[in-house]
A and B are shown apart, each in its own frame.
Chain A
Amino acid sequence: MSDRPRIVAGLGLFLVLAAYPVWSALASTGDPSPPVLARAQDSAGCVEDTLYMAAHHADVLNAWRTSVVRDGERFYTSTAGRQWEMSLTGTCLQCHDDSQAFCERCHTYAQVELTCWGCHVAPEGQGAEP
Chain B
Amino acid sequence: MSASRRRFLKELGCITLGAGAGIPLLDPDLTPWAPYPQGEGADAAAGTRQWAMVVDTEKCLRPEVRAACVEACNREHNVPRIPDAEEEVHWIWSEPYEHVLPDQVHAHTAPELKDAPVLVLCNHCTEPACVKVCPTGATWKRESDGIVMMDMHRCIGCRYCMAACPYGSRSFNWRDPRPWVETEANGKPVSDYPTRTKGVVEKCTFCAERLRTGRPPACVEAANLVPGGEGALVFGDVSDPESEVSRVLREKNTVCRRVGLGTGPNVFYVVPTAVPTAAGEGRA
Which of A's residues lie within 8 Å of B, judged by CB?
65, 68-72, 74, 89, 118-121, 124
User: How many angstroms between the C-alpha atoms of A119 and B178 in the bound complex?
Assistant: 8
Q: In the complex, which residue of chain B has the Cβ closest to the Cβ of A124?
A: B188
User: Provided the pairs A120-B194, A121-B195 are in contact, do residues A72 and B142 lie with their beta carbons within 8 angstroms?
Assistant: yes
Mark out the residues of chain B between 66 and 114 whose CB falls within 8 Å of any chain A CB in the assembled complex: 78
Q: Which of A65, A89, A124 contacts B153 (CB 8 A)?
A: A65
Residues in chain B near residue A118, CB distance under 8 A: 176, 197
User: Is B217 in contact with chain A by the CB < 8 A criterion?
Assistant: no
User: How many angstroms between the C-alpha atoms of A124 and B144 in the bound complex?
Assistant: 36
Residues in chain A near residue B194, CB distance under 8 A: 119-121
User: How many angstroms between the C-alpha atoms of A119 and B188 in the bound complex?
Assistant: 12
Can you name 26 A-B residue pairings with CB atoms under 8 Å? Answer: A65-B151, A65-B153, A69-B149, A69-B208, A70-B140, A70-B142, A70-B149, A70-B151, A71-B144, A72-B144, A72-B145, A72-B212, A89-B192, A118-B176, A118-B197, A119-B152, A119-B194, A119-B196, A119-B197, A120-B194, A121-B78, A121-B188, A121-B189, A121-B191, A121-B192, A124-B188
- B194, B196, B197 — which one has the most chain A CB atoms within 10 A of its CB? B194
9 nearest CB pairs, A to B? A119-B194, A120-B194, A72-B144, A118-B197, A89-B192, A119-B197, A119-B195, A121-B189, A121-B192
- A71, A89, A118, A120 — which one has the most chain B CB atoms within 10 A of its CB? A118
- How far in angstroms is the closest Cβ of chain A from B49? 10
Residues in chain B near residue A68, CB distance under 8 A: 212
The B interface is mostly helix, strand or loop, or mixed, namely loop
Q: In the complex, which residue of chain A has the Cβ closest to the Cβ of B192?
A: A89
Residues in chain A near residue B193, CB distance under 8 A: 121
Residues in chain A near residue B191, CB distance under 8 A: 121
- How far in angstroms is the closest Cβ of chain B from A22? 38
Residues in chain B near residue A65, CB distance under 8 A: 151, 153
- How far in angstroms is the closest Cβ of chain B from A89? 5
Mark out the residues of chain B between 23 and 64 whose CB falls within 8 Å of any chain A CB in the assembled complex: none
Given A70-B140, A71-B144, 9 more pairs with CB closer than 8 A: A68-B212, A69-B151, A72-B144, A74-B212, A118-B197, A119-B152, A119-B194, A121-B192, A121-B193
User: How many angstroms between the C-alpha atoms of A68 and B194 in the bound complex?
Assistant: 15
Residues in chain B near residue A119, CB distance under 8 A: 152, 194-197
- How far in angstroms is the closest Cβ of chain A from B215? 14
User: How many angstroms between the C-alpha atoms of A89 and B78 in the bound complex?
Assistant: 15
User: How many angstroms between the C-alpha atoms of A98 and B149 in the bound complex?
Assistant: 30
Residues in chain A near residue B189, CB distance under 8 A: 121
Residues in chain A near residue B78, CB distance under 8 A: 121
User: How many angstroms between the C-alpha atoms of A65 and B197 in the bound complex?
Assistant: 17
- How far in angstroms is the closest Cβ of chain A from B183? 10
Residues in chain B near residue A70, CB distance under 8 A: 140, 142, 149, 151
Residues in chain B near residue A74, CB distance under 8 A: 212
Contact with A along B203-227 (1 / 0, CB 8 A): 0000010001000000000000000
- How far in angstroms is the closest Cβ of chain A from B270? 30
User: How many angstroms between the C-alpha atoms of A62 and B8 in the bound complex?
Assistant: 53
User: How many angstroms between the C-alpha atoms of A17 and B188 in the bound complex?
Assistant: 47
